[in-house]
């Protein structure tokens, strides 16, 4: 078995076109079979596994309902126990090899391509899937992955291969890469639309949230089970619209900055408590759009904001609004 250096794998992964992968099925099949043969040749380490040259090769277009698709072909379950043991024994062995690289000053062995981390979110829990960079250190598996192989199931009589999907991403922060697309599915299988997935800033959403946001209702927002999903729905629904419908009122407007501060709460309730104060600032982009209009957008700001100027200053990381007095706005 030929093992690649950790640095070489990472550099090649960073240069891939993740949004438009080219799937070379014949190439991916060849490299995966070479990997299975290599497991067979190392029989002293993995005596229970042997690759049968008469094994059937089947491509499944995507992960949707893959178990039933396999059953339609007469196969059941996941990878065979023999392959599972041999494969992960090999992977665990490669986990120990990067230690010498770290001693030489290379990157830590646990640094994983951000896109590869995201693929963990979109793939079913298949035994043979290339889950981590250690698996890709095997030369044959790495070349199969580059040829467009996403993951695989190896049984005694058949091998099932899945293509690597196209993924669209965005940098949510300087260090966090998330699945995101506002123009269609963030995870797209070329030949299997039912396997496509829609993600908005790292939250998996229903198709209509991306393609028909006008169908979102406040009931959808209230029913959101996670904070990330709730924020995604609110952003597509419109933060200002959602705030106004919840009872926010305008308390200050600054014509120079083109900003309006909206507030809700902060009043004494019938039980004698002070309700939580929430603030949203509406901003008008000073740079006109191609059609000559000016884009309006809203942002949440801390509940202690009292003026629109103060809220705008806070969005630019100024605690004191007197420190934020730009001469020209772009």
Q: Are the C-beta atoms of residues 179 and 118 closer than 8 Å to each other?
A: yes
Residue 132's pLDDT is 62
Mean pLDDT of 62-83: 92
pTM of the model: 0.83
List the single range of 3-17, 36-50, 311-325 with lowest mean pLDDT: 36-50
User: What are 171's two structure tokens?
Assistant: 């940098």
Question: Whole-angstrom Cα distance, residue 206 to residue 217?
Answer: 13
Task: Check whether 201 has a pLDDT greater than 80.
Answer: yes
For residue 99, name the pLDDT band (cuts at 50, 70, 90): very low
Q: Is the Cα dihedral 191, 192, 193, 196 positive or negative?
A: negative
Task: Check whether 128 has a pLDDT greater than 60.
Answer: no
The closest of 60, 180, 160, 184 to 118, measured between CA atoms, is 180
Q: Where are the domains of the chain?
A: 6-166, 169-237, 248-323
Kindly state the DSSP code that residue 47 receives in the 8-state scheme. Answer: T
């Amino acid at each position: 078995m030929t093992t690649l250096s950790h640095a070489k794998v990472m550099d090649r992964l960073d240069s891939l076109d993740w949004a438009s992968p080219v799937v070379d099925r014949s190439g991916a099949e060849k490299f995966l079979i070479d990997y299975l043969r290599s497991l067979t040749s190392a029989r002293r380490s993995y005596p229970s596994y042997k690759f049968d040259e008469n094994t059937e090769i089947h491509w499944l277009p995507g992960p949707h309902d893959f178990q039933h698709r396999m059953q339609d072909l007469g196969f059941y379950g996941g990878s065979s126990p023999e392959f599972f043991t041999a494969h992960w024994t090999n992977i665990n062995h490669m986990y120990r090899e990067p230690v010498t690289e770290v001693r030489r000053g290379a990157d830590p062995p646990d640094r994983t391509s951000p896109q590869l981390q995201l693929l963990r979110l979109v793939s079913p829990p298949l035994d043979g899937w290339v889950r981590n960079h250690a698996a890709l250190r095997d030369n044959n598996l790495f070349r199969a992955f580059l040829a467009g192989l996403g993951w695989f199931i190896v049984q005694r009589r058949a091998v099932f291969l899945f293509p690597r999907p196209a993924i669209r991403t965005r940098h949510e922060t300087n260090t966090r890469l998330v699945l995101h697309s506002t123009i269609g599915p963030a995870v797209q299988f070329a030949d299997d639309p039912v396997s496509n997935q829609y993600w908005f800033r790292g939250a998996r959403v229903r198709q209509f949230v991306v393609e028909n946001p006008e169908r979102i209702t406040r009931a959808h927002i209230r029913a959101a089970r996670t904070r990330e999903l709730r924020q995604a729905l609110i952003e597509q629904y419109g933060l200002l619209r959602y705030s106004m419908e919840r009872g926010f009122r305008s308390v200050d407007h600054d014509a120079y900055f083109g900003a309006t501060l909206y507030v809700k709460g902060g009043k004494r309730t019938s039980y004698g408590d002070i309700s939580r104060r929430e603030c949203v600032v509406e901003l008008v982009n000073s740079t006109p759009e191609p059609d000559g209009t000016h884009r309006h957008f809203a942002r949440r700001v801390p509940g202690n904001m009292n003026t629109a100027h103060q809220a705008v200053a806070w969005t630019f990381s100024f605690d004191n609004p007197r420190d934020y007095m730009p001469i020209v706005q772009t």
